Amino acid sequence: MKKILALLFILCIAQILYANEMYRVNTERLNVRESPSASGLTIGYLDVNTLVEALDTTNSSWYKIKVNNGIGYVSSHYLVKKATIEPTSELTNYDLKVIGIGGFSIILIVFLYYLFQNKTRKYALTLLLTTSVGVGIFYSYKALIMKPSISGIYVNTKGGIYRSFDFKGGSTVLVKDGIIGLDFAVGYIVDGNIIRITSNTGDLLLNIKDENTLIGEGFSTGIYKKEN
């Protein structure tokens, strides 16, 4: 039993250690391209200090990267490994992911240990049932009661690819493109405090800070304020 637990612990640690490398953008505006070439179609851009996940670094000049809402290629000359950057006080999505995996791994190992002990088996099962009920209640509350309602026009106050999002109600949003000046209507869903908008370049993600402010990251970077 101890060998099994040790193996599980090693596998969990390996999952964390061998995650894709994280890089930070070190230029004011980094173009994201559809293919690994300077002539590739520009599908977005990243602001300075944006954190990205490197999916493929075999091409020393162009890295395949992933941000919250898309995948593309960027010049490796404008990326710096996260480990070489001074730490900030804010936790990134990657940091939260690592913390979540680590915490879940510890809980799983402790649970399995006590589950296979005759004297504590019933307590482990009680803990599992209680945790399951608690998680179910939390997500039900979050989905049914805490679900925010978004409507109206939100304008980008920082400047970026997208000038504004006009939420028409239901599941339709009118997106104003700041590069080619086109407006197009697409669908969206609200998942907790995240708005997921479907576009031809991939999903656009907006974080709901409050009813008047949306925070965009990656290709939809910006601070969007609701018009009165």
Instruction: Find the CATH number of the domain harbouring 169.
Output: 2.40.128
Strand order in the sheet with 79-81: 42-47, 29-33, 70-75, 62-67, 51-56, 22-25, 79-81
**Which pLDDT value is given to residue 120?**
73
For residue 80, is it within any domain?
A: yes
Determine the pLDDT at residue 224.
92
The Cβ of residue 110 has, within 10 Å, a number of other Cβ atoms equal to: 13
What pLDDT does residue 200 have? 63
Q: From 57, 84, 111, give the residue that closes a domain.
A: 84
Q: Is residue 107 part of a domain?
A: no
85 vs 83: CA distance, rounded Å: 6
Do the beta carbons of residue 205 and residue 220 sit within 8 Å?
yes
Total domains in the chain come to 3
Domain that holds residue 168: 152-226
So what's the pLDDT on residue 11? 56
Low-confidence ranges of the chain (pLDDT < 70): 1-20, 67-69, 83-98, 100, 124, 138-148, 179-181, 199-202, 218
- From the list 87, 65, 63, the residue with the least C-alpha distance to 77 is 63
- Assess whether 168 and 207 both reside in one domain: yes
In this predicted structure, what is the pLDDT of residue 20?
A: 60
Q: Which run of H or E residues covers position 114? A: helix 93-115
Longest dimension (CA), the chain: 69
State the pLDDT at residue 6.
57
Residue 220 lies in a domain: yes
DSSP code, position 1: -
- Is this structure's pTM higher than 0.75? no
Statement to judge: residues 167 and 197 lie in one domain = yes
